[in-house]
Amino acid sequence: MRAGWREAALNQGWTYRDRVPRADAGTVVSHWLAERYQHSDVAVWQQRIAAGELRWNDSLLLEDRQLQGGEHLCWQRPPWLEEAIPDQWLTVHDDGDLLVINKPSGLPVMPCGGFLRHTLMSLLEPTGARPVHRLGRFTSGLQVCARTPQTRALWSKQFRPEGGCRKVYQAWSQQVPGLELGQCLTVSSDVVERTHPLLGWIWGPEPLEQEPIRKRLSAHSQLELLERTAEGDRLQVTITTGRPHQIRIHLAQLGCPLLGDPLYLLNRGISVTATPGDGGYRLHAWRLEAEGITLRCSPSPDWGIC
Q: Is the pLDDT of residue 250 over 90?
A: yes
Return the pLDDT at 1. 54
Give dist(CA 84, CA 5) in Å, integer. Answer: 7
Return the pLDDT at 199. 86
* Domains, the chain, ordered by start: 9-81 (3.10.290.10), 87-158 (3.30.2350.10), 166-303 (3.30.2350.10)
Task: Return the HEC string of the chain.
Answer: CCCCEECCEECCCEEEEEECCHHHCCCEHHHHHHHHCCCCCHHHHHHHHHCCCEEECCEECCCCCECCCCCEEEEEECCCEECCEECCCEEEEECCCEEEEEECCCCCCCCECCECCCCHHHHCHHHCCEECCCCCCCEEEEEEEECCHHHHHHHHHHCCCCCCCEEEEEEEECCCCCCCCCCEEEECCCEEEEEECCCEEEEECCCCCCCCEEEEECCCEEEEEEEECCCCEEEEEEECCCCCCHHHHHHHHHCCCECCCCCECHHHCECCCCCCCCCCCCEEEEEEEECCEEEECCCCHHHCCC
Question: Across the strands, what pairs with 239?
Answer: 167, 221
Contact between residue 160 and residue 122 where contact means Cβ atoms under 8 Å apart? no
With CA atoms as reference, report the closest residue to 304 among 142, 146, 205, 170.
Answer: 170
- Backbone φ, ψ for residue 261 (5° rounding): -70, 120
Give dist(CA 186, CA 237) in Å, integer. Answer: 10
Q: Is the pLDDT of residue 2 over 90?
A: no
pLDDT tens, 126-154?
Answer: 999 999 999 999 999 999 999 999 999 99
Mean pLDDT along residues 232-245: 93
Question: Across the strands, what pairs with 276?
Answer: none
pTM of the model: 0.89
pLDDT tens, 166-225?
Answer: 999 999 999 999 999 989 999 999 999 999 988 889 999 999 988 999 999 999 999 999
pLDDT tens, 166-181?
Answer: 999 999 999 999 999 9
